C-alpha cells in the first residue's frame, strides 16, 4: 500500500478495507489524517494553491475559507439516496432501495480508477466524545481536501481515534469522480456498517459522519442496540437559581432548528438571569441513563448551518460562531475586503462580488422570484463552524455522559392545524404526534402553497430502515425509560386570514419553552382537548412580547375542521408506510378521530 505517512492503526480489518478500496480507486498515494496542526495547515495551503478553496481576509475572518461546489451539486439529493438492505422490506416503503450486490457492482464501475492522479485521505473520526458510552467510530476515505477539512471541524477526528477503531468502525468511501448527477449515489449498507458516496462533493452527501452515519446508520444501530439517533437539537435552559433543564427538539428543514438551539432570551427573561445553552443544533443520540431518565449527546463537533437569513437579529450566536476557523460553501465573495456575504446578512450587499456560481454578481439584478439565478449566495449555502466558537455553547458540550432530557419537542410549519403548543397525553400518544408531523410548503417554494409533506420526527430522509419499525422502536423505548421525557408539539408558523405570521418567533419562543418546562415540573395546569393538553392563556407570559391576549387565544385555539381534514391525509400516509405501522399508532389515530367528533 502506498501510505505516505504512518498508519494510525494496525487493525487488520481497517487496513484490509483501505487496501481493497485503494485497489478499486487507484490513488497515487494514501495519507492518514492526523489532526496535527502542521498537516492541516499544509492541506489548506494545497487547497488554496489549486483554487479548491479561497483564503479569506485574515484580519476580519481569521482562518476562514470559501469553497464553491459544482452548480449541479448544491444540496442533499433524496432521490439518489439509498438504503441497501438484503431484503427490500427492511428498507421500507419510504426509502429508495437497491439490492446490495447490485449496488456494489454498479458503484464499483463508478469508483474504478476514479482517484488516479489523486491522493486518498484516510480520516479516522469519532461521533461523540472519545471513550464515552455514546461514542461510535468511523473511517472515511475521500479524495477531497474540502471533505477532510470539513470533517476536522464537524467530528472529533485524527490521531487519538486510531486506538478506538479496534472497538469497531463504520466504513465510508467517498469519491468525487466526475460529479455526474445521473450517476450520483449516496448508499448505505446498514447490515455491513458501510457507506458509499460517489459523484457528489456537497456536504450533506459527502461528510459521511453526519447524515449518513449519525442518522441513517446510527438509527439502524440504535434499534438493534436499544438507543435512539434523532434529527434533534439539544438546548439547556438555565433559570436564575442556576438550575439547567434540557430539551431535545425535532423540526423539518427550514423550520428554525439552529435558531432555537442558540436562542437569546427576550429582555424580560435576560434581566431575571435566564440563559440558553446550546448542546447541539442537528443530531441527538439518546440512551436510558442509570437514573432512569433519557440522556442525550450531540455526536457532532461543529455546525453545518444554512447561511442565508443568519444575521445579528435572527441568530447572533451562529453568526459569531462563523467569525473564525470556518469554511463557507457557496456564499457570495465580497471582493472589496475579501470576506463573505449572503442574502439576509444585512442590507448592504457588496459592490464588487462573485456569486455562488463563481460569476461576477450585481446585487441590483436580484429577483426574489428567481433566487437561484440572481442571488449572491445559494439559498442552501452553508457555514461549517466549530461548536466551540459559539458564545452559548453548553459547558456540558464535551460531557461524555450527555445531558438529561426533560422534554422532547416536535414541530412543523402549519398555517392552521397545529396550535402554538400542546402536550401529548403520554409517551405512546407522543410517538403518535411525532409520526404525524408535517410541514406545509410556503409561497417561497415552487409549487402549490399549503401542500402538506409528512415528515415523521423530522426523520423522513434519515431513517436507515422501515419507518413503521422505527415507530415501533420509539414505542419500545418508551417502555424502557422509567422516567421518560414529556412530549410536546409546537408551531411557530400559524397565520392570520391574510397569511401573516401571528407569533413573533425567534427569542420569543422562550415563552413557550418556559411553559413546557413548567409542565414537566408539574407547576401548571392545562386544558385537556381532543389533540392533547393545551395551555391556559394566563400560563404563557406575554410581558414585553407585543403579543395580545386575544392573539394568544387565537394561537392556542384548535381548528377542528382542519384537524378532521388532516385525518384522511394521515391515513393515506400510514397506508404508504405500510404493514409495519404499529397497531398502537393506528389505535391512536382512531381515538383522535373519535375525540374530534
* Active site members: 255
DSSP character at residue 484: P
How big is the site for Mn ion, counted in residues (CB under 5 A)? 1
Q: Which does 90 bind (CB under 5 to 8 A by kind): Mn ion, ligand OXD, none?
A: none
Backbone phi, psi, residue 430, to 5°: -65, -40
Phi, psi of 136, rounded to the nearest 5 degrees: -135, 155
Binding region for Mn ion (CB under 5 A) out of 277-285, 365-373, 464-472, 588-596: 277-285
The span from the CA of 282 to the CA of 250, in Å, is 8
β-strand pairing of 452-454 with 332-334: unpaired
Q: 174 or 519, CB closer to ligand OXD? A: 174
76 binds, options ligand OXD, Mn ion, none, Cβ within 5 to 8 A by partner type: ligand OXD
Burial of 447 (0-12, 13-18, 19+ CB in 10 A): exposed
Q: Which of residues 280-319 bind Mn ion (CB under 5 A)?
A: 282
Q: What is the enclosing helix (H) or strand (E) of 43?
A: helix 37-50
Q: Does 588 bind Mn ion (CB under 5 A)?
A: no
CB of 211 vs ligand OXD, minimal distance in Å: 7
Of 128, 429, 155, 400, residue with least CA distance to 289: 400
- Residue of 412, 406, 542, 596 lying closest to 486 (CA atoms): 406
Residue 89: Cβ-neighbour burial (10 angstroms; 0-12, 13-18, 19+)? middle
User: What's the first-to-final CA gap in the chain, in angstroms?
Assistant: 70
Nearer to ligand OXD, 90 or 230 (CB): 230
C-beta of 256 vs 582, nearer to ligand OXD = 256
87 φ, ψ to 5°?
Answer: -100, 135
| Residue 204 binding target from Mn ion, ligand OXD, none, CB below 5 to 8 Å by type | ligand OXD
Q: Indicate the residue among 66 and 255 with the shorter CB distance to Mn ion.
A: 255
Of 497, 507, 499, the C-alpha closest to 545 is 507
Q: How far is the CB of 77 from ligand OXD (least distance, A)?
A: 11
Q: Tell me the window of 21-29, 153-161, 274-282, 571-579 that interacts with Mn ion (CB under 5 A).
A: 274-282
Q: Give kind and range of the element (H or E) at residue 29.
A: strand 29-32
300 makes contact, choosing from ligand OXD, Mn ion, none, with CB < 5 to 8 Å by partner type, with: none
DSSP string covering 77-109, please?
Answer: -GGGEEE--SSHHHHTTTSB---HHHHHHHHHH
Strand partners, 452: 440
**Residue closest to 402 by CA, chosen among 236, 568, 257, 268:** 236
Q: In DSSP terms, which residues pair with 244 in a beta bridge?
A: 238
CB of 492 to Mn ion, least distance (A): 17
Q: Given the complex with ligand OXD, which of 78 and 102 has the nearer CB atom?
A: 78
CB of 95 to ligand OXD, least distance (A): 16
Least distance (Å) between residue 151 CB and ligand OXD? 15
Query: Whole-number minimum distance, CB 303 to ligand OXD, in Å?
Result: 9
- Give Rg (Cα) of the chain: 24
DSSP secondary structure of 232-262: -EEEEEE-TTS-EEEEEEE--TTS-HHHHHT
Minimal distance, residue 282 CB to Mn ion, in Å: 4
Interface positions with ligand OXD (CB under 6 A): 76, 204, 253, 282, 304
Task: Name the residue nearer to ligand OXD (CB basis): 204 or 325.
Answer: 204
Burial class (CB in 10 A: 0-12, 13-18, 19+), 495: middle
Cross-strand bridge partners of residue 404: 295
CB of 76 to ligand OXD, least distance (A): 5
Q: Candidates 275-283, 441-449, 542-550, 555-563: pick the segment binding Mn ion (CB under 5 A).
A: 275-283
User: Residue 501 carries which DSSP code?
Assistant: B
Q: Which is nearer to ligand OXD, 227 or 304 (CB)?
A: 304
Based on CB atoms, which residue is closest to ligand OXD, 76 or 333?
A: 76
Contact residues toward Mn ion (CB under 5 A) are 282
Amino acid at each position: 500500500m502506498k501510505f505516505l505517512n504512518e498508519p494510525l492503526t494496525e487493525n487488520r480489518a481497517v487496513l484490509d478495507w483501505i487496501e481493497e478500496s485503494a485497489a478499486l480507486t487507484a490513488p497515487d498515494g494514501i495519507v492518514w489524517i492526523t489532526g496535527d496542526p502542521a498537516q492541516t495547515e499544509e492541506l489548506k495551503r494545497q487547497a488554496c494553491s489549486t483554487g479548491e478553496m479561497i483564503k479569506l481576509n485574515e484580519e476580519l475572518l481569521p482562518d476562514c475559507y470559501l469553497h464553491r461546489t459544482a452548480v449541479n451539486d448544491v444540496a442533499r439529493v433524496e432521490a439518489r439516496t439509498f438504503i441497501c438492505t438484503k431484503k427490500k422490506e427492511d428498507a421500507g416503503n419510504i426509502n429508495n432501495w437497491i439490492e446490495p450486490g447490485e449496488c456494489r457492482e454498479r458503484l464499483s464501475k463508478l469508483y474504478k480508477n476514479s482517484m488516479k492522479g489523486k491522493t486518498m485521505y484516510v480520516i479516522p473520526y469519532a461521533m461523540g466524545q472519545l471513550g464515552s458510552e455514546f461514542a461510535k467510530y468511523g473511517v472515511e476515505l475521500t479524495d477531497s481536501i474540502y471533505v477532510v477539512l470539513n470533517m476536522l471541524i464537524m467530528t472529533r477526528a485524527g490521531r487519538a481515534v486510531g486506538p478506538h477503531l479496534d472497538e469497531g468502525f463504520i466504513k465510508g468511501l467517498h469519491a468525487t469522480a466526475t460529479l455526474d448527477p445521473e450517476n450520483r449515489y449516496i448508499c448505505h449498507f446498514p447490515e455491513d456498517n458501510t457507506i458509499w458516496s460517489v459523484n457528489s462533493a456537497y456536504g450533506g452527501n459527502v461528510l459521511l459522519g453526519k447524515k449518513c452515519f449519525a442518522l441513517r446508520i446510527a438509527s439502524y444501530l440504535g434499534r438493534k442496540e436499544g438507543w435512539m439517533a434523532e434529527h434533534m437539537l439539544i438546548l439547556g435552559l438555565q433559570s436564575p437559581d442556576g438550575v439547567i433543564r434540557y430539551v431535545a427538539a425535532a423540526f423539518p428543514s427550514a423550520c428554525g432548528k439552529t435558531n432555537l438551539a442558540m436562542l437569546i432570551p427576550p429582555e424580560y427573561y435576560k434581566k431575571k438571569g435566564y440563559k440558553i445553552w446550546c448542546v447541539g443544533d442537528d443530531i441527538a443520540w439518546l440512551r436510558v441513563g442509570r437514573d432512569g431518565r433519557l440522556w442525550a449527546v450531540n455526536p457532532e463537533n461543529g455546525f453545518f448551518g444554512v447561511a442565508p437569513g443568519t444575521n445579528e437579529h435572527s441568530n447572533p450566536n451562529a453568526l459569531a460562531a462563523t467569525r473564525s476557523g470556518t469554511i463557507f460553501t457557496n456564499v457570495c465573495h465580497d471582493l472589496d475586503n475579501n470576506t463573505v456575504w449572503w442574502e439576509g446578512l444585512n442590507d448592504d450587499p457588496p459592490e464588487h462580488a462573485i456569486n455562488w456560481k463563481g460569476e461576477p454578481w450585481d446585487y441590483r439584478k436580484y429577483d426574489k422570484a428567481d433566487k437561484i439565478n440572481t442571488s449572491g449566495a445559494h439559498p442552501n449555502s452553508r457555514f461549517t463552524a466549530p461548536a466551540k466558537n459559539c458564545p452559548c455553547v453548553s459547558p456540558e458540550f464535551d460531557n461524555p455522559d450527555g445531558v438529561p432530557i426533560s422534554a422532547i419537542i416536535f414541530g412543523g410549519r402549519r398555517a392552521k392545524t397545529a396550535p402554538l403548543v400542546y402536550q401529548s397525553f403520554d409517551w405512546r400518544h407522543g410517538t403518535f404526534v411525532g409520526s404525524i408531523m408535517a410541514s406545509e410548503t410556503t409561497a417561497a417554494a415552487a409549487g402549490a402553497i399549503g401542500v402538506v409533506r409528512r415528515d415523521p420526527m423530522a426523520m423522513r430522509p434519515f431513517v436507515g430502515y422501515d419507518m413503521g419499525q422505527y415507530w415501533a422502536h420509539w414505542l419500545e423505548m418508551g417502555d424502557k425509560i422509567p422516567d421518560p421525557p414529556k412530549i410536546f408539539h409546537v408551531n411557530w408558523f400559524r397565520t392570520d386570514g391574510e397569511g401573516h405570521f401571528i407569533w413573533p418567533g425567534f427569542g420569543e419562543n422562550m415563552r413557550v419553552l418556559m411553559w413546557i418546562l413548567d409542565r414537566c415540573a408539574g407547576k401548571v395546569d392545562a386544558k385537556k382537548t381532543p389533540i392533547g393538553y393545551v395551555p391556559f392563556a394566563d400560563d404563557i407570559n406575554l410581558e414585553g412580547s407585543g403579543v395580545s391576549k386575544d392573539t394568544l387565544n387565537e394561537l392556542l385555539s384548535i381548528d377542528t375542521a382542519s384537524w378532521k381534514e388532516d385525518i384522511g391525509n394521515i391515513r393515506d400516509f400510514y397506508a404508504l408506510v405500510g404493514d409495519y405501522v404499529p397497531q398502537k399508532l393506528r389505535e391512536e389515530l382512531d381515538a383522535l378521530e373519535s375525540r374530534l367528533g
